[in-house]
């Protein structure tokens, strides 16, 4: 059972430093972003990040890593909802 827990923890990781730097692992897709809100699809469901002056600095699709800077106000998970039916993801729109 411990193996299952450690595998799951390695699949998705959130690291918040001083509410200014957010490092994420286990990112599947970036659905939308602006200076106030970033919506991501992660291994654990949709993650919505709210803040001020948010910037996506490093996105590594191959390693599923993402770095966001700015003032992080909150972040919350929700169940995977088929957001693609509502217009598609940011990356999908970018490569059309």
* 43 closest CA partner among 22, 21, 65, 59: 65
Buried b (16+ CB within 10 A) or exposed e, 26-60: bbebbbebeeeebbbbbeeebbebebeebebeebe
Instruction: List the domain boundaries for the chain.
Output: 7-81
For the chain, the 3-state helix, strand and coil shares in percent, each to the nearest 5, are: 20, 55, 25
Of the given ranges (1-5, 28-32, 61-65, 77-81), which has the lowest mean pLDDT?
Answer: 1-5
Q: What CATH number labels 7-81?
A: 2.60.40.2000
Please indicate, yes or no, whether the overall pTM of this predicted structure exceeds 0.75.
no
31 in Cβ contact with 62 (< 8 Å): no
Mean pLDDT within 78-92: 58
Task: Sheet containing 13-17: give its strands across.
Answer: 13-17, 21-25, 65-78, 45-60, 37-42, 27-33
Q: State pLDDT tens for residues 1-53.
A: 455 544 444 578 999 999 999 999 999 999 999 999 999 998 888 999 999 99
């Amino acid at each position: 059972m411990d193996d299952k827990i450690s595998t799951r923890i390695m699949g998705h990781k959130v690291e918040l430093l001083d509410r200014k730097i957010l490092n994420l692992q286990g990112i599947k897709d970036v659905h939308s972003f602006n200076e106030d809100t970033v919506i991501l699809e992660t291994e654990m469901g949709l993650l919505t990040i709210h803040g001020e002056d948010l910037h996506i600095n490093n996105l590594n699709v191959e390693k599923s890593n993402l770095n966001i800077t700015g003032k992080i106000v909150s972040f919350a998970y929700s169940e995977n909802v088929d957001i693609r039916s509502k217009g598609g993801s940011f990356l999908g729109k970018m490569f059309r």
